[in-house]
Amino acid sequence: MNLRTTITYYNRIIEVKKIIGRGDRLLNIGCGIGNFNYYLKDDYKDVYGVDINAHDIWLAKQITKREKNLHYKEGSIYKIPYDNNYFDGIICTETLEHVRDMNKALTELRRVLKKNGRLVITVPVKNFPITYDLINKIRINNNKRPMPFGAYGFGHKVLYTSEEYESTISKYFMIKESSLISFGLIGCIENYIPSIVTRLIKTNHDNKSSRFDKSKSKERPDKIDFNIPGFLQSIYRTIIYIDNRIFKSKNGINLILLCRK
């Protein structure tokens, strides 16, 4: 089991799978080790993954080497290594918060997406519930620099409000759907845990482009799979249901957008 499939991650997988649709070629930009690729491989003929993290790309190739329709390349969102109008669909999950120049990244996504293609974006938002990251929420409210953990861990460069994200993205794409996902209950459960676990189990936890020595990898490809046990899925779905019914508010952890050119 992949220990990084936390409840917020699982929730994003469910929501993205609902709206990305089907087609011939799908790009997962900022793919990490390929979790989303695995769960969407039956919806597209070929699923491509690009990430700046060389170690993650190596790991993704090793884990899924028997999957003939999964393809991975090391590369940057600023210069995606594919032709214009190449993809029917693109998912950009938890990636834009890692870049300094969001406009440049969106320009490149627009270039490789077909005219009537679908783009699904998820991003952590600055207006997250206080239960998700109490310390940084207090610091932000007092105009202090956030600490590099919780909502600002994982190599995140900057977070924006939902409105700020939508305002920038709408300059490049038509936003068809927009909603917040994961609220106060999930935030309380996951407060700081992913930041701690990621540092322990991930070799390049800050998601930086770098050469790596695979012999020093913390992860072993033969010990990782993307299957989530049924009992854990049931627990996650129950918590998500309660979160959506009781704790849903204007303050969510993630913004999810369905966009068209």
Residue 96 tokens read as 């834009």
Q: At 162, give phi and psi (nearest 5°).
A: -55, -45
Q: Are 256 and 120 in contact (CB under 8 A)?
A: yes
CATH class, domain 7-260, is alpha beta
Sequence-separated (6 or more) residues with CB below 8 Å from residue 142: none
Helix (H) or strand (E) holding 115: strand 113-124
Tokens at 164, concatenated: 């700020």
Task: Give Dmax over CA atoms of the chain in angstroms.
Answer: 51
Token pair listed for 28: 């997962």
Using an 8 Å Cβ cutoff, are 146 and 139 in contact? yes
0.75 exceeded by pTM: yes
Edge-to-edge order in the sheet of strand 87-93: 70-74, 44-51, 23-29, 87-93, 113-124, 254-260, 174-181
Rounded distance between C-alpha atoms, residue 208 and residue 194, angstroms? 18
Q: Domain extents for the chain? A: 7-260
Q: Per-residue pLDDT tens, the chain, 261 aa: give them.
A: 455 578 999 999 999 999 999 999 999 999 999 999 999 999 999 999 999 988 899 999 999 988 999 999 999 999 999 999 999 999 999 999 999 999 999 999 999 999 999 999 999 999 999 999 999 999 999 999 999 888 998 888 899 999 999 999 999 999 999 999 999 999 988 876 665 655 555 555 556 655 666 655 666 777 778 888 899 999 999 999 999 999 999 899 999 999 998
Place of tokens 């019914």: 245
pLDDT of residue 155: 83
